Amino acid sequence: MTIADSASNTLKAKGAEAAVLMPGPIVILLIPQFTSIALSSILEPLRIANRYVARPYRWTLVSVDGEPVPDRNGVKVAVDAALSMIAHVGTFLVIADEPPSSRLERSILPRLRQLARTGATIGGIDTAPLLLARAGLLDGRMATAHWEIIGAFREEFPRVQVTERLFEIDRKRCTCAGGSAAIDLALKEIETSFGRQLAERVSDHCMHGLPRPAGGAQRSAPAKAGVVGRKLTRAMEILEREAPKASRIGTIAERIGVSRRQLHRIFTDELATSPARFRLKLRLDNAYRMLTTSETSVTEVGLAAGFRSRSHFSRCYSRQFGRPPSADKR
């Protein structure tokens, strides 16, 4: 039996009302400065699957105004229609990296709510889950997003059960960390609709290895061998997880079984920075993401990121980015 026959039989076995993760028609909204890897990672597996199935996937690319949308590299991607022209939707996916302007957001959020009321599956990829959350579509649901914004996501939306998984599917909402994780989301859809055999064949075409489960890790530990590598990895994990906390560097060193001087030497040798500077950079990066993705005030962002006062936060931020935090407030 061929893979095409197997996929056809799987679909017949499920019946005409087969449950799928991303029912068609699929509409994909591109937000300016989106990442092309997220778009191609969703579409390529579906395109490859179409070689084998009798019921092919169909999709429509849209922008808010119907004009081409620049990705993060400045490459303008043509779309099929404006958001206002879309009628029947089975699945509506939003792909974003940089937060949209306030004007664009005002156009998008009501449409997301309207589509949700029609029973469409609504999804967000990369940083787009923030838009779904702002539309009130993720309250009480499990959701994920790119690891860079997880902290800001949790801070702004305590009613959302934010995870650090590759993707989440919860009651007609699908969220994905972006990048190559979108391949795994697409492969999960293919597996659900047409079986594991076809999903693995498509994954082979993508040279992706076996499809990763939703609970796979977004990031791999640094590929450092030996005791030093393990100590560095553990220290980085602690600092990343506890960046806003006022833990002493010496206490962190004790937790991984080295002296403060040894920890400083490991960071200097392997990363060309000190543990304190590494943590400061984490705090400032977290602050930037909160400023650009939430309505939180500058003072609240500074305190949430681990700075003792607004003035201290502003000095450090200006030194790092060459502008005050207020310049990046959304």
> Where is average pLDDT lowest: 61-70, 191-200, 265-274?
265-274
> Where is average pLDDT lowest: 19-23, 63-67, 193-197, 226-230?
226-230
Q: Is 178 helix (H, G, I), strand (E, B) or coil?
A: coil
pLDDT tens, 234-269? 888 888 888 888 888 988 888 888 889 988 988 888
CB of 107 closer than 8 Å to CB of 31: no
> Where is average pLDDT lowest: 81-85, 128-132, 200-204, 227-231?
227-231
Number of Cβ within 10 Å of residue 241's Cβ equals 11
Q: How far apart are CA 146 and CA 142, in angstroms?
A: 14
pTM for this entry:
0.71
Tell me the pairing of strands 91-96 and 69-70: unpaired
Q: How far apart are CA 2 and CA 173, in angstroms?
A: 33
Q: How far apart are CA 11 and CA 192, in angstroms?
A: 9
User: What are the CA-CA distances from residue 80 to residues 76, 100, 219, 311 (Å)?
Assistant: 13, 20, 34, 48
Q: How far apart are CA 137 and CA 232, in angstroms?
A: 39
Positive or negative: CA dihedral 292, 297, 300, 303: positive
CB of 92 closer than 8 Å to CB of 122: yes
Residue 93 phi/psi, 5° resolution?
Answer: -110, 140
Number of Cβ within 10 Å of residue 254's Cβ equals 13
Is the pLDDT reported for residue 108 higher than 70? yes
pLDDT tens, 92-102? 999 999 888 88
Is the pLDDT reported for residue 11 higher than 60? no
- For residues 121-145, one letter each, b for 16 or more C-beta atoms within 10 angstroms of the residue's C-beta and e for the rest, the string is bbbbbbbbbbbbbbbebbeebbbbb
User: What are the CA-CA distances from residue 265 to residues 21, 102, 213, 260 (Å)?
Assistant: 49, 45, 38, 9
pLDDT greater at residue 284 or residue 228: 284
Is the pLDDT reported for residue 287 higher than 60? yes
pLDDT greater at residue 197 or residue 209: 197
pLDDT-based confidence at 217, cuts 50/70/90?
Answer: confident
Mean pLDDT throughout 295-316?
Answer: 89
Q: How far apart are CA 90 and CA 118, in angstroms?
A: 9
Q: How far apart are CA 47 and CA 202, in angstroms?
A: 9
Cβ-proximal residues to 186 (8 Å cutoff; 6+ apart), any chain: 41, 42, 43, 44, 45, 46
Cβ-proximal residues to 101 (8 Å cutoff; 6+ apart), any chain: none
CB of 237 closer than 8 Å to CB of 224: no
- The residues that bridge with 167 in the sheet, in sequence order, are 176
Domain architecture of the chain: domains with CATH: 3-205 (3.40.50.880), 226-320 (1.10.10.60)
Q: How far apart are CA 270 and CA 236, in angstroms?
A: 12
Residue 147 phi/psi, 5° resolution?
Answer: -55, -25
Length of the chain: 330
Mean pLDDT throughout 213-222?
Answer: 71
